Structure 1
Amino acid sequence: MAIIGKLLKNRRAGEDGLASNLPNLAGGKTFELTSPDFDHESVLDKIHASKRIGGQDLSPALIWSGVPGDAAQLLLVVEDPDAPTGLPFVHCVALLDPALTALPQGALQTGTATPGVRVLRSGMGRGYQGPAPIKGHGPHRYTFQLFALTTTITEVGGKSPESAKPRDVLAAATAGAKARIDGFYERL
């Protein structure tokens, strides 16, 4: 597998395709997003990585402040802009109650009943999908992006948000403010 990673080393989706760069999500104010499990631009612990590579697929705890008081809903998106794909790989999408100010560790797992959290489809399944970069591809950035939406997402193209594709949910959202924290993970 390391050979494939080395062959694809220069192929990366790039930051331009991240949710936070979409016109409907790019503007507005910023607010604070942190994690007690990792510092911005530090390495994610293996427990947050995919079970396929020996991790536990455990979503990190997140804490935020400064969300505008008129936020109708929060949208959390976790993406990997270093994936060797056309667009960043979506590791998690969730809709959150705007009254929330934090998520405990593991709150984004499928089947976890965290009040105020609606776990949606990701790029592969439902709920948080931990990092699993190709061996030898180099470090991958995992962007945890939180958007304060100006309106509530109740349906996406005639479907419930839970059944819609991640990119369709992103296209249906309009943000008035956003926050971001990044972590890294690499398989040697």
Structure 2
Amino acid sequence: MLEKLPDVVGHALREQRAGIEKTVYRQLDLRAGTAAITLTSLAFADHAPIPALYTADGAGHSPPLAWSGVPVAARSLLLIVEDADAPTPQPLVHAIAVEISPHETGLSEGALKSHDHEGEGVKTGRNSYLGKSWLPPDPPPGHGVHRYVFQIFALAEGEPFSGTPGRDAVVEALRDRALASGCLIGTYERPDTAIKVGKGMTRDAAVGIENMT
């Protein structure tokens, strides 16, 4: 969807980013605790690019994830994925998965429901577009590198989530019940689509930028 935006829009919004400090993982700051969950993916390393297969430029399925170090007191796990560099006041939520069994050690590729893909029945909350599914990375062209923050939390015993919880409901529950957390960051960038002419831009792109400055 955002790949259709003109590059000039991405350039104009380049300095507008939600910020990594606003992600749930940073807000709760469980990193100082004794329990830490290790979160990894076979598809990409920490702070490395996410393959296009898992983005809006590919099939758009959720990537495989694996974790270890879940505390024995955990009664469920929760996953939330946010775009820390979205040009929005708060990070853009790409997926929420709740009530994951504490005995699970990961999610397979495509486990989360996505467009034209049913997933594997994982209970999901609402993404920022109010969908109950995985929202694949889809940064604006020319906006630069986006960091997609995969965050896993272990929860103590408590009331199960009802309906399809959004970010606010998740944060409220985590403040009361979170025991441990883990984080994995993948990046994705959609480059400028404008064709360069010689040492300059295309006429339309140059005029667009001139009009916005």
Same-fold call, TM cutoff 0.5: yes
Distance 1:165 1:153 in 2: 16
Partner of 1:9: 14
Q: Which residue of 1 aligns with 2:62?
A: 59
Match for residue 39 of structure 1 among 35, 41, 45: 45
Find the residue that maps to 1:22 and give its secondary structure: helix
Is residue 101 of structure 1 aligned with residue 108 of structure 2?
no
Q: CA RMSD in A?
A: 1.7
Amino-acid identity (%): 37
TM-score (norm 1): 0.88
**One-letter identity of the residue aligned with 2:82:** E
Pick the aligned partner of 2:178 from 150, 175, 180: 175
Structure 1 unaligned regions, length at least 5: none
More strand per residue: 1 or 2? 1
In the alignment of these two chains, the number of paired residues is 178
The equivalent position to 2:55 in structure 1, one of 33, 46, 49, is: 49
* Contact 1:77–1:93 (CA under 8 A) maintained in structure 2: yes
AA of the residue aligned to 2:59: Q
Opposite residue 41 of structure 1, the aligned amino acid is H
Change (3 A) 1:38 1:84: same
Q: TM-score, normalization: structure 2?
A: 0.78
| Contact 2:67-2:106 at 8 Å conserved across structures | yes
Q: Residue 150 of structure 1 corresponds to which residue in structure 2?
A: 156
1:92 equivalent in structure 2: 95
* Ranges of 4+ aligned residues in structure 1 off by more than 3 Å: 23-28
Q: What is the CA distance between 1:108 and its match in structure 2?
A: 1.0
* Long gaps (5+) in structure 2: 1-5, 192-213
- The match for 1:118 is 123
Task: Go from structure 1 to structure 2 and tell me whether the alpha carbon gap of 1:153 and 1:74 turns closer, same or farther (over 3 Å shift).
Answer: farther
Matched residue SS, 2:59? coil
Larger Rg: 2
Q: How many angstroms apart in 2 are the aligned matches of 1:139 and 1:149?
A: 32
Partner of 2:24: 19
